[in-house]
Amino acid sequence: MLEVTVASLGLDKTSSTPVVILKEKDGERLLPIWIGPGEASAIAMELAGVHFARPLTHDLFTAVVRGLGSALVRVLITKVVENTYYASLVFQRDGEFISIDSRPSDSIAIALRAEAPIYADESLLEISALDVEDATFDPDSPSGLEDALDAEPDLSQLDRLDEPLKEYLKRLDPEDFGRFEPS
């Protein structure tokens, strides 16, 4: 497992689906994960430091976990099966670790609120990550995502992915993404 951070949120122009872009903490590879608009808004609001007087779902969940004497210690993005990514929330309570299955989008939104690290399985970065070693990436720049995606994807181990996702990743074009703006 490698630690990743949220580099940016994008919008897949071909499907109008939000994409969270994870970047390996000590490297240059990017891992795009297509997510729902609600979760994208929750992630975007936390990244922007926008908070409401009353807690939204991910805020409430984080408060309940703390209130019950637990702490989120890490998020693990573990695998992709039939174009669906899987993740686990790992909690610690009274010295015991508890792992709960979760969607990556919810896990990321909660991890940001709990200030917990996010890890992705190395194979996901090898298979689906975009290698941007030579690209300049500024997540605050409107063209930052497009610049980062100019490099060719590392497709060396695509044989382990399902055919539809393989084909999509092969055709991935920087112009397929736009900036995601929470509604």
| Phi and psi torsions of 134, nearest 5° | -95, 0
Q: How far apart are CA 10 and CA 171, in angstroms?
A: 17
Using DSSP's 3-state secondary structure scheme, residue 141 falls into coil
Supply the pLDDT for residue 14.
Answer: 82
Q: What is the residue-averaged pLDDT of the chain?
A: 77
Please write the tens of the pLDDT for every residue from 80-133. Answer: 998 899 999 999 999 999 999 999 999 999 999 999 999 999 989 876 544 433
Assess whether pLDDT exceeds 50 at residue 155.
no
| Phi and psi torsions of 30, nearest 5° | -115, 145
Q: How far apart are CA 21 and CA 12, in angstroms?
A: 11
| Phi and psi torsions of 40, nearest 5° | -60, -40
pLDDT band of 150, cuts 50, 70, 90: very low
Give the domain ranges of the chain. Answer: 2-179
Q: What is the third-level CATH fold of 2-179?
A: Bifunctional nuclease domain (3.10.690)
In this predicted model, which residue has the larger pLDDT, 138 or 27?
A: 27
Q: List Cα–Cα distances, 170 to 21, 148, 158, in angstroms.
A: 17, 16, 9
pLDDT band of 11, cuts 50, 70, 90: confident
